[in-house]
Every structure is written in C-alpha cells, then in structure tokens.
Amino acid sequence: MRVLLVEDNQAICEMIADHLRERGFAVDAVGSGEQALSAARVARIDAAVLDLGLPDTDGMRLLASLRDHQPDLPAIIVTARDGVDDRLRGLNSGADDYIVKPFNLLELEARLRAVLRRAGSRRETRYSLGGITFDTVTRQASALGKPLDLTRREAALLEELMRVPGQVITKDRLEDRLYALEDAGSANALEAAVSRLRRKLSGAQARLAIETKWGIGYRLVESGDT
C-alpha cells in the first residue's frame, strides 16, 4: 500500500512516516501541497494523510486537487483544530476520516486501514492460496497454519501478488506499490525481494510459485504436487 503523507511539521511528518513504514506501507512524505501534487503525478497512491494547515494551501483544498486526478482517493485529514465546525467541514469536504492532534500513531494506522478497506470492498482482508494465508490487517503470513517470518517488504510483496493470483503484475507497478520515492534507485531491490520470498515460500513447502515473465513482471501461481 502506498500512502502520500503531507505534513509540514517535520518532526510529526517523520514520526508518522516511520511508523507507517515499519507497519509495511510505502510512504511518500512531503511538506507542501505542491510537493504532494508532484508526488501524486509520479505514482498512483492508495491513500492520502493530509495535514490541514500547510504552507501553500490547506488539506481540504489539496484533497480536492488530488481527487481531480484520482476521484476515489481515500483520505484522512490530520489537524490541530478540533472545533466541531472544522470537523464537519473536513468530513463535508469529502475526507473519509478526520483525526485531531495529538493522536496516537496506532489509532491513525487503524483508521487508515479502515479507510482503505472501505475504499476497496473488493479488497479482501485475508488471502489464502496454495497453503499460504496472508492477513492484511495483522500483516502476518502463515504457511500450512504456521507463522511465516517475512520482512515488511516481503509481506507487502506477497500481499500484492496474492491480491491477483494468476495475473502478471508488471515490475513498474510492483515497484510503485512497494517503494516510496525516496527508496528509488535501488534498481535490484525488487528482484532481491522476490528471490527472498521465493526461498521462504519453498522452505515452508507452500504450493505457490512466483513466476518471472521476462521483461514484464511476475505472477503468482499455485503449483502442482510435482
């Protein structure tokens, strides 16, 4: 899941970004509306977390501009203002949720996941295939009932592949979903993550294989009892 975080207070921005990254999100963290719009042009984002008071705009106006490009973009407004008027204005402006500073990072994360779930009712919370189960809420994978130890990036990769079993996902798309802008440049990171995940899946005797489609991308297939 790729999240655009727009917050001009650098300390708060880093704190939120670090937390979400630890929990498996790819985060593009920026400090202004202009930077947010250019980040959103580069890659499709799954959700936005927007501070209300930004140096060059406000979170609600920014949300409207972001939705010009991506009408269904799920969004949470974060703000220090806590008047009922502001809260109503936030929700009426189309934000899916509204959270007031100071807030607990786990609460923000939970609300973000709720907003993402509501946005994609086709998006399952649990995938199961070839003996592997992945829970998108706890981020835990298990193989034949036993927990599978994955890094957050391997878990994110497995989630993307399990969402569309049998379909080829292009490398560009996977990189978009897994790596935020500041991680770009690690050219072989995706290949490396794929081979680590392959090793772990076969080590766990999963009947799942990640096929490489040369020059295109990858797809997840259920393998026979060979």
What is the nearest approach in angstroms of Ca ion to the Cβ of residue 54? 6
Select the residue whose beta carbon is closest to Ca ion and give its number. 53
Site for Ca ion in 194-223 (CB under 5 A): none
DSSP strands (E only) in the chain: 2-6, 26-30, 47-51, 75-79, 97-100, 126-129, 132-135, 140-143, 146-148, 169-170, 208-213, 217-222
Among the listed ranges 33-41, 45-53, 195-203, 207-215, the one in contact with Ca ion (CB under 5 A) is: 45-53
What is the nearest approach in angstroms of Ca ion to the Cβ of residue 99? 14
Which C-beta is closer to Ca ion: that of 28 or that of 51? 51
CB atoms within 10 A of CB 214: 5
Query: Is 86 a binder of Ca ion (CB under 5 A)?
Result: no
Among the listed ranges 12-20, 47-55, 102-110, 160-168, the one in contact with Ca ion (CB under 5 A) is: 47-55
How far is C-alpha 50 from the chain's CA centre?
Answer: 15
Query: Is 8 a binder of Ca ion (CB under 5 A)?
Result: yes
Query: Is 81 a binder of Ca ion (CB under 5 A)?
Result: no
Which C-beta is closer to Ca ion: that of 13 or that of 178? 13
d(CA 20, CA 110): 11
With CB under 5 A as the contact rule, the residue among 28, 46, 51, 159 that binds Ca ion is 51
d(CA 93, CA 3): 20
Query: Is 77 a binder of Ca ion (CB under 5 A)?
Result: no
HSE-CB of 157 using CA atoms within 13 angstroms: 27
Which residues contact residue 90 at a Cβ distance below 8 angstroms, ignoring those fewer than 6 apart?
A: 52, 59, 60, 77, 79, 98
Query: Is 53 a binder of Ca ion (CB under 5 A)?
Result: yes
Which C-beta is closer to Ca ion: that of 60 or that of 194? 60
- Residue numbers of the site for Ca ion (CB under 5 A)? 8, 51, 53
